[in-house]
Structure 1
Amino acid sequence: MRRAIALGEKAALIDSSGGPFGCVVVKDGAVVGEGTNRVVAENDPTWHGEMAAIRTAAKNLGTFHLAGCTLYTTGEPCPMCAAAIFWARIERIVYASTIADAMRFGGFDDHAIYGELSKPVNERSIPATMCLHEEMLHVWRRYEAKADKIRY
């Protein structure tokens, strides 16, 4: 966790690349991935510490399933990062501050996003319209039948 905090501190207070979010992924006692928040530096709203650490760990381990890994992060994961953690099959999360702390000290309002995601898609503040459904179902059916697909 101290390594994650050091990464977050550097990102926010020295590099000014984003908020104080650092993350380390550990497997069998060894660090397999690290990441920091670089949202501001990269103009990329998805460049959170957890996302970067997951990408690095997956690349280093040669798999997108990170079973047996623990993720250490400076902040309780936001909705995007929480979803990525589940998709990666990480088995444990350890965090040093809460979503409420991130709101209080940094103005990061994850509660609004959680609220939006809990609504049916047609009731969210960002309009979403489905189109070309049948065309896409044709692609899905072909994918379903693909013998060599890799499930994730």
Structure 2
Amino acid sequence: MTLTPTDVAHLRRCVELAREAVDAGDEAFGSLLVNADGDIVFEDRNRVSGGDSTRHPELTLVEWAVANMTPEQRVASVTYTSGEHCAMCAAAHAWVGLGRIVYAGSTAQLTGWRAEWNLPASPVAPLSIREVAPGVAVTGPISEFAADLRALHARAAGVTL
């Protein structure tokens, strides 16, 4: 699928949110939810630094959507995110019937960077969204964001590039 200028702008905002997360001492992830009219209805960033490793922005979007959108509105929505959903977030996304996902950086990219930096692997299997939620339409990764995301993840992990 070809990205529109609006898609790219939304992904840029996700990267900004990821930067805000890193600046606040969290991991480098940011996400937003867009309704069928193209309006951003919710956005968030990673908030795991407080000790709850499930405080991913993608999961927060799911919770917000369930509380504030009808099933019809959810399926017509688009989730934009700086990084591909983990298995937990992908499953939650599919279970509540959210629409398409557009992500800037992939799980495979992040896993490769972490291995390159000799960091511990994730405690959760690095599955793609397509493996966890095969019925969800997915676009990503988007190569133009790779360098920025790599730098953000390195900074969050305390790695000097």
Same fold, judged at TM 0.5 (above)? yes
Contact in 2 for aligned 1:32/1:57 (Cα 8 Å): no
After superposition, the C-alpha distances for 1:91-146 in whole angstroms (9 at most, x for unaligned) are: 2010000112222335574595258xx9xxxxxxxxxxxxxxxxxxxxxxxxxxxx
Q: Which has the higher contact order (CA 8 A, sep 6+)?
A: 2
Structure 1 residue 25 and structure 2 residue 33: aligned?
yes
Q: Say which is worse superposed, 101-110 or 84-93, in terms of deviation.
A: 101-110
Report the counterpart of residue 91 of structure 2 in structure 1.
Answer: 83
Count matched residues.
Answer: 113
Q: Which residue of structure 2 lines up, in the alignment, with residue 53 of structure 1? A: 61
Paired position in structure 1 for 2:52: 44
Q: 2:44 aligns with which of 35, 48, 55?
A: 35
- Contact 2:33–2:42 at 8 Å: present in 1 too? yes
**Alignment RMSD:** 2.7
* Alpha-carbon shift at residue 36 of structure 1 (Å): 1.0
Letter in 2 for 1:36: R
Unaligned runs of 5+ in 1: 119-152
1:9 to partner: Cα distance: 0.9
Q: Give the share of equivalent positions with the same residue, in percent.
A: 32
Distance 2:67 2:120 in 1: 29
Aligned AA (2:15): I
Q: Which runs of 5+ in 2 are unaligned?
A: 1-10, 132-161
**Counterpart amino acid of 1:100?**
A
